[in-house]
Amino acid sequence: MTEGSGAQLEFHGLGRRAVIAQFDGGHISSDGGALLLREVEQRTGILARMAKQFTDFRDPELIEHSVETLVAQRVLGLALGYEDLNDHDRLRFDALLALACGKRDPSGQDRRHERDKGKALASSSTLNRLELTLAQVAEDERYKKIAADTEGLDALLLALFFEAYDTPPKEIWIDLDATDDPLHGEQEGRFFHGYYDNYCYLPLYIFVDEHPLCARLRKADSDASDGSVAELARIVPVIREHLPQTKIRIRGDSGFCREEIMAWCEAHRVDYVLGLAKNKRLDALSATARLQAQLEYLRTEETTRVFEEFQYSTLETWSGERRVIVKAEHFSYGANPRYVVTSLSADEADPRTLYEAIYCARSDMENRIKEQQLDLFADRTSTHTMRANQLRLYLSTFAYVLLRTLRRLGLRDTDLADAQCGTIRTRLLKFGAQIRISVRRVRIAFSESFPAQAIFVQALRHLQQVPIRAAPA
């Protein structure tokens, strides 16, 4: 209870009617849609399996918040729009969130200590201990007694990716991208990046369509492609094991056009389409196409694109010649040539198709990264150590997976079937609910005026068609 919770508040009247209020409504939550996320969890076990990647060395006799409920609380909080640990000092009172996290006592009345009565969920300080997990825990460690297995978390992302397919796809495109994660403190590993003009991390993201396969935090003093080969060497064999008939191809911008990556792909039968930074030699080789585009623009005064291909190799770094596509574009501001290097043959894709339909499709991954950063706070890396900040990135990534799974399983054939995470949250998850708890039932009362009632009901019915997943061993 907060100060003044029992006081009557008076507002400007409505005609002859007095308008009064009190903080006495019982358990009311602003996150009624969290129940849908609970249904997703019951059928996929995403959060339970994530929790299995932590080893808990705490005394079982003293634990009131299991690792599973701590993980659920943090990930669900991100999915519902709560970016800070400090938010959870108030969310502790939220009976509906406690229910969604699997708390058997959502009202918190059965807590051991009187000071904790009514607070079903963990405080920010307890959650912080989860985020500050170590790779190994010393026996004499007093507070940091939970160890996170990052390799296990990486493997789980791949497992969830495979589960998303009812039938194996004929081909998949693995998209690689890097972005800045601005820093505003003295975090471990911070460096000033000249291109982004700030102190930051430079995380590497790897997606297939909307499925995240990797979210790796890196120092900003590294090349955009650093670590890519190691991640591909980890990911590709697992994909081949689970999807042996699926063609694997990678795609990235010019930051990933490196001999090391192309040579690895060629050695492991993986096709690639990569952006290629323009230079004088490329401009010379594409002179005819660029002139043609210019002349066509002068004739029509409309943006003109001419596509052409040629063989090209750098003077020193490439091991041999490779197929390069030029998009020779001319518009009101002048020439705008773009280049792409690929292992795909002309029979597999002509120059226009390769650039417009294949290469440009990578822009969708940029939207996925924006979703994680803007909607799910993937750039909230404000702890001191890189390991803790990497764990925060994992938490955000799994929050994205949870919402994406809700979209895939629950929101098909609805107006939100293609909605971004922020839209799903605003329209479907953020609405009022009253929770009434008795010995025999928990009753939830939703607002009669909730605009997305029909979508909510349809999503629940879709989810209820998916079998309940057995708890992980």
Dihedral pair phi/psi, residue 139, rounded to 5°: -65, -30
Q: Residue 357, SS3? A: helix
Please give, one letter per residue, the 3-state secondary structure of 157-168.
HHHHHHHCCCCC
Span 153-189, pLDDT tens digits: 999 999 999 999 999 999 999 999 999 999 999 999 9
**Residues of 208-246 as b/e, b for ≥16 C-beta within 10 angstroms?**
bbbbbbbbbbbebeeebbbebeebbebbbebbeeebeee
Identity of the residue numbered 290? R
Span 343-399, pLDDT tens digits: 999 999 999 999 999 999 998 888 999 999 999 999 999 999 999 999 999 999 999
Dihedral pair phi/psi, residue 321, rounded to 5°: -75, 145
Structure tokens at 12: 């400007």
Of the candidates 62, 63, 52, the one whose C-alpha atom is nearest the C-alpha of residue 147 is 52
Are residues 123 and 64 in contact, defined by beta-carbon separation less than 8 angstroms?
no
Of the candidates 207, 205, 343, the one whose C-alpha atom is nearest the C-alpha of residue 273 is 343
Q: Would you state the pLDDT for residue 57?
A: 84
Whether pTM exceeds 0.75: yes
Q: Residue 183, SS3? A: coil
Q: CA-to-CA distance for 398 and 412, rounded, in angstroms?
A: 20
Q: What is the mean pLDDT of residues 267-277?
A: 97
Span 135-149, pLDDT tens digits: 666 556 666 688 899
**Superfamily covering domain 151-375:** Transposase Inhibitor Protein From Tn5; Chain A, domain 1 (3.90.350.10)
DSSP string, 107-142: T-TT-SSGGGTT--S--HHHHHHHHT-BSS--TT-S
Domain ranges of the chain: 9-15+25-148+377-464, 151-375
Structure tokens at 304: 């003109």
Q: Which residues make Cβ contacts (< 8 Å) with residue 231, sequence separation at least 6?
A: 204, 206, 214, 216
Identity of the residue numbered 406? L
Q: Would you state the pLDDT for residue 1?
A: 46
Bridge partner residues of 248 (DSSP): 172
Span 335-346, pLDDT tens digits: 999 999 999 999
In the DSSP assignment, the letter for residue 345 is: -
Of the candidates 17, 92, 100, 93, the one whose C-alpha atom is nearest the C-alpha of residue 402 is 100
Span 188-201, pLDDT tens digits: 999 999 989 999 99
Are residues 276 and 354 in contact, defined by beta-carbon separation less than 8 angstroms?
no
Other CB atoms within 10 A of residue 206 CB: 23
Q: Does an H or E element contain 199, and which? A: strand 198-201
In the DSSP assignment, the letter for residue 219 is: B
- Terminal alpha carbon distance of the chain: 39
**Mean pLDDT computed over every residue of the chain:** 93
